[in-house]
Amino acid sequence: MDSHDTKGIINVKLIHAISKRSTEEIILMLLGGLSIPSILPFGIIRMMQRNWALAAVDMAIVAGMIAVLTFVWVTRRVRLGSIVITIFYSIGMLASISVKGSSIVYWVYPTMIAAFFMLKAREAFVINMASLFSLVVILIGKMPMVDLLSVVVTLVLINLFSYIFSHRTSLQHLELNHQAEIDFLTGVGNRRAFDHMLTDLYKPNNADVSACLFVLDLDYFKNVNDQFGHAAGDQVLIKFCDLIRSRIRVIDSLFRFGGEEFVIVAVGVNVDTVSHLAEELRMLVAKTEFIANYPVTVSIGVAQRNHAESGDAWFQRADAMLYEAKQSGRNTVRMAA
């Protein structure tokens, strides 16, 4: 294997490793990675100039950045790493100004702005205001009062603008995530929302939560589309979801898994309750007139949560019961043992 092949393999592995990282991790790595080559040359120059105090501050910041980035890369604890880097970077900035004086006060601006990229808006604002107070204490008597007031006012404005921008961006991000998890036709959760809920249910703090999974499939739905058209089929799906939501509890969740297949996640229920609910839903659909003089029925597979199995295995058990219900003639309910 030549050197080009080796480099190619290394690059592929690096890209694969990066692709597994969250957006927050990548942003933190980029900000930290850019800070190191930005500060390191100054530390080297100051060592050559025998300016040991400032050189020590610069090298401490670089070493701290490397340590925190390594910690985040290994543990993937982004939130803790972001807080540590922000506090560490702010302390380093204040230490540099304390040693060098007001001539390097301009380093405060990028430091404070960077905090809003790494932390929640409120956290960044609190840390920056604490840094600003410390900065005023350090610079009082070391620079003209008018100049100090100008620095304070501009920093306050920068923090206010950054806070507003960061807060609005977070709200928009939450709204986009919410919209991305809603089925555009029926208004219920989509498959992504279902996967998200399964992930939450299998987090350690939800390990003891009892839950039940219903997999529902409208019987012979293709015939509805073929006979009445897709517009009529869409109306059946919408009315079906409205009907199911009117019966299940507020704490239960309905998802469109795909096509005419739906999933209900009911929490805090026992076997008897689940059995009665599934049968009630089946009967409710059967007696509802979705299309004039045309019967619409549903087959349902049900599985109680087994804490020893994965979310995928849980769904597969419920889906197997749905298959059994359809094989048994449809318009029926089957429950996993």
Active site residues: 260
Distances (CA, A) of 260 to 151, 251, 275, 284: 62, 23, 22, 17
The full length of the chain comes to 337
Distances (CA, A) of 304 to 43, 191, 315: 62, 20, 10
d(CA 99, CA 64): 19
Distances (CA, A) of 27 to 173, 204, 275: 16, 27, 48
Angle at 163 between CA 102 and CA 68, to 5 degrees: 70
CB 248 within 8 A of CB 211: no
Please report the sign of the dihedral spanned by the C-alpha atoms of residue 251, residue 255, residue 261, residue 265.
negative
Q: What is the CA radius of gyration of the chain?
A: 30
CB 303 within 8 A of CB 212: yes
Give the Cβ contact number of residue 261 at 10 Å: 17
* Structure tokens that stand for 299 in this block: 């087959």
d(CA 180, CA 196): 12
Distances (CA, A) of 212 to 209, 250, 283: 10, 15, 19
Which pairing describes strands 298-304 and 333-335: parallel, antiparallel, or unpaired? parallel
